[in-house]
Structure 1
Amino acid sequence: MKLLTHFMLIGALAIAGASHAQDYKRIASAGGDITEIIYGLGAGDRVIAVDSTSGYPAAVKDKAQIGYVRGLSAEGVLSIAPDLLIGADDMGPPNVIDNLRAANLDVAIAPLGQGGDRVVTKIKFVGETLGLQTRADELIADYSAKMAALADQVDALKTKPRVLFILSMRDGAPIVGGAETSANDIIELAGGVNVGEGFSGWKPMNSEALIAANPDVIVMSASHAENMGDDGAVLDRADIKLTNAGKAENLVKMDAMLLLGFGPRTPTAVAELMHHIHPHSH
C-alpha cells in the first residue's frame, strides 16, 4: 500500500488548475504516447494526421502521415493545414518547430516527466491544450488507481529479478537501457532490478560487463528482436549463454510503444512485464 497514496496524490495534483485552450478541429499529433492520450480523451475525430510512432489505436492507420516525431518537416506538416501540432517532448527538430511557429501554427510540446508519473503529466497537458480537462481528470483517476494497485502487487513480491533491456545491436554490441531511461522506469515499476542502473542513458555493453551483470531476464521490443532474426540471434551469443537469462532462454519480447511509450496503456505494460519476469507470482 505504500505507493497508493503516492499515485493518488500525483493524480490529484495534476488535475488541479487549467490553462486557456482553443477548440482545435484539425490536429496533427507527433508521438505515439500523445496520440493515444488524445484518443483516450475521446478526441480522435479531431486528429487529421499522425507520425510514424503512432500505431495505436487502429484508427490512426487511416490518418495522414507527417513522418518521424524527431524528424518532421515544416512543409510536410503545413501541407495538411492543421490548426494545432501537438507532440512528445522530443518532437523536432528544433529549427522545424521554430519555422512552424513562425508560420503562425500553434505548436504544443509535452513536458518530459519521470517514471510512471510522467503519464499523469502528459494527460494533464493534452487535456488542458484541447480544453478537455474533465475527461483528463477521469483518465488520470483511472490510470492512478490502476498503477496504485500494481504498486501494491510489487510491494508484495519476495524477489526482484535482474533485468537487461536490449534496445538494439550496434557493431555487435547490445545497446542497453541504463538509469534515466524509459526502460529503467518500466523495469522498476514491474518489480525488477535494471542491471544497467549503474550508468545513465542508452549505451553499448561489452561482453565482459554483460556476463558480470548476469541478468535473469532479457527484455527487447518485438520489432527490434524481429530485425535481429530469431531468438537464437540473441540467446546464442557466447556472452549471453553464460548468464542466467541465457541458460534459461529467458527472452521477453513486447510491443515497443506499449512498453516504453508511457501513455494510458502503461498499466497494461507493467502488468504484462510483471507476468513475464515474475512467472511464479501469479
Structure 2
Amino acid sequence: MVKWKLRRVHRRRSFRRTAWIAGGCVVAVLLWNNGIHNIGSINAQGEADCLQPPARQTPSLPEVPEVDRSTLPDPTAITGPTTAYTQSGEIPPVSDTTEHEANLPVTVASADGSRQTVKKTDRILAMNQNGGIAAAVVGLGLGCKLVGRDIATDFTQLVPGAEQLPLITQGGHEINAEAVLALSPDVILTDSTIGPYDAQMQLRNAGIPVIFISSSYEEGVRSAGPQIREVANALGVPELGDKLAERTVREINGTQEAVEKLAPEDPADRPRTVFLYLRGSIYYWFGVGSGADSLIQSVSARDVAAEVGFKGMSPTNSEALIKAAPDIIIVMTLGLASVGGVDKALELPGIKQTPAGENRRIIDMSDYEVMSFGPRSAEVIAALGTSIYAPELAHHPDDPPESIDKRLKEINEELDEDN
C-alpha cells in the first residue's frame, strides 16, 4: 500500500513547458469524447438557490465491505465486466462561513511564474482537465461562488440540488475566452492541463487574476493535499486549506487500508492491472506519471505499466498489451460506450488475447470521477477497490448518475445513427 504523507505544497516558480505539451495531449484525449456542446447554454447557478451539505472537518471514510479476504474469490479469476460507482457525489465543506474567514486581498505566486492579486472571490471560475480544482473549491465551502465549469466538473453531483453551470470550453477542450469574460469572474484558477495558453493570457490581460495551480496529474492521488492547499491560498483561506487537505489525506489513507484488506495478502497474487483510454480503434495506455499509476497502486493492485517501464500516456499496440498480460483493464465509462460497449472493446486489437479479455474483466468508471484527484479520491478508491476484489458487494445504484447517464444516451444515439 502506498501511504500519502500530509505535506505542504511548495509552489513552483518556474513553469515547465513540457507540462503544457503533456497536459494538452491528455486534455485532447480525455475531453474529445465527453460531449462539449453549446457554450453558456445552461443558466449559471443562482447563489441564493445553492445549498451546500453541512460542514464537516473530521474524516469520514466511504463504505468498504468488511469481509475476510480468505472468503473472497481469486481476483485474477473473476469473470465479467463491472461498473464502479461511488456511493456519494457530494463534498461536505470544511466550513459554513468560508467567505467571512477569507483574508483578502491576497497576492500569491502562480505556477507560471507570475504573481497575482485576488481582491474578491464572489465569482470563481475553476478549470482543469480532471475537475480537481473545482472539487477543492467546493470542499473549502465556496462551491456556490462557482460561475462556470470545465467538462470534468459535475456540479450537480458535487452540490446536490444545484443547477448545472455553463461550460466554458469549445471544440472539445479549448477555453472560449469570450464565454469566460461574459461570466465576469473575480478570479480564475487553472493549470497546464487545459488551454490554450493564449486564451488564459487573454483573460489575464483583461484584468482578471489568473492563477495556475501546480499541475497535478503526474502525482495523481498524491497530489490531493498539495493541490487543495494551493487553491486555498489563492482564495485567501489557507487555514481552511490545511483542514480540508488533512481531512482528505486521512480519508484517502484510511480507505486504502480498508481496500488492502480485501486484496490477496501476497502482492504477487494481486491482479495485474492496466488503465486504458478507449477512443474508436485506438486506445491509449496510461502509464507511469499519468496519475493512473497512483490510482492502481492505491487499490493495492499490480501496476503493469510500472513493472514493464511504460511511461506517460500514449497509444499502444496489440503486441505490447498482449505481452503485458493484464488481469484487469480499467477504462472510462464514456470511452467504453464510444466504442460500442464491452463486446466491441474486446474486438480491439490485442484486448481479447489478454487474461482480462478472456475473462471479459473490464472495469469502467465515470470519466467525471475516476481521474479527479482531490476531496473525492477516497470515494473513488473505495468504489474501484470493491469492484476489483468484491464486485458482488459493490454499490450498484438503480440508475447511473444523471450527468453520465445523459451523455451515455447521447453516445448510444450517435452510434445508432452511424449504424
TM-score range, shorter chain: 0.7 to 0.9
Is the alpha carbon distance of 1:238 and 1:25 closer, same or farther for their aligned partners in structure 2, counting shifts above 3 Å?
A: closer
Q: Which residue of 1 aligns with 2:298?
A: 189
Paired with 2:196 and 2:349, the residues of 1 have a C-alpha distance of 39
Q: Which residue of 2 aligns with 1:71?
A: 174
Letter of the 2:222 partner, please give it.
D
Q: Which residue of 1 aligns with 2:289?
A: 180
2:377 pairs with 1:266: yes
1:36 Cα deviation after fit: 1.4
CA RMSD of aligned residues (A): 2.6
1:30 Cα deviation after fit: 1.3
Letter of the 2:135 partner, please give it.
E
Deviations 1:217-264 (CA, angstroms, capped at 9, x unpaired) = 011100111111121011344632222111221110101231112121
Paired with 2:237 and 2:164, the residues of 1 have a C-alpha distance of 24
**Which of 227, 232, 253 is the matching residue for 2:364?**
253
Paired with 1:237 and 1:116, the residues of 2 have a C-alpha distance of 29
Paired with 2:220 and 2:144, the residues of 1 have a C-alpha distance of 30
- Retained in 2: the 8 A contact 1:166–1:176? yes
1:278 Cα deviation after fit: 2.3
Q: Which residue of 1 aligns with 2:149?
A: 50
Structure richer in helix, relative to its length: 1
- Retained in 2: the 8 A contact 1:23–1:131? no
Paired with 1:125 and 1:230, the residues of 2 have a C-alpha distance of 39
**Which of 189, 197, 202 is the matching residue for 1:86?**
189
Q: Which residue of 2 aligns with 1:37?
A: 136
**Which of 94, 103, 117 is the matching residue for 2:222?**
117
Paired with 2:2 and 2:275, the residues of 1 have a C-alpha distance of 27
User: Which aligned pairs between 1:82-231 and structure 2 lie closer than 5 A?
Assistant: 82-113=185-216, 114-153=219-258, 157=263, 158=265, 159-169=269-279, 172-197=281-306, 198-231=309-342
Paired with 2:373 and 2:335, the residues of 1 have a C-alpha distance of 18
- Retained in 2: the 8 A contact 1:55–1:61? no
Q: Normalising by structure 1, what TM-score?
A: 0.87
- Retained in 2: the 8 A contact 1:162–1:194? yes
Secondary structure of 1:48's counterpart equals coil
Letter of the 1:77 partner, please give it.
V
1:14 Cα deviation after fit: 4.6
Larger RCO (alpha carbons 8 Å, 6+ apart): 2
1:67 Cα deviation after fit: 1.3
Q: Which residue of 1 aligns with 2:343?
A: 232
**Which of 22, 27, 30 is the matching residue for 2:124?**
27
Q: Which residue of 2 aligns with 1:278?
A: 389
Q: How many residues in Structure 1 have an aligned counterpart in Structure 2?
A: 274
Paired with 1:92 and 1:236, the residues of 2 have a C-alpha distance of 34
- Retained in 2: the 8 A contact 1:22–1:130? no
- Retained in 1: the 8 A contact 2:284–2:313? yes
1:124 Cα deviation after fit: 0.4
Deviations 1:15-68 (CA, angstroms, capped at 9, x unpaired) = 9xx964533111122132111111111111211122222114435653232116
Paired with 2:315 and 2:195, the residues of 1 have a C-alpha distance of 25
Is the alpha carbon distance of 1:2 and 1:244 closer, same or farther for their aligned partners in structure 2, counting shifts above 3 Å?
A: closer
Paired with 1:162 and 1:121, the residues of 2 have a C-alpha distance of 29
- Retained in 2: the 8 A contact 1:70–1:90? no
Letter of the 1:273 partner, please give it.
L
Is the alpha carbon distance of 1:24 and 1:122 closer, same or farther for their aligned partners in structure 2, counting shifts above 3 Å?
A: same
Is the alpha carbon distance of 1:67 and 1:129 closer, same or farther for their aligned partners in structure 2, counting shifts above 3 Å?
A: same
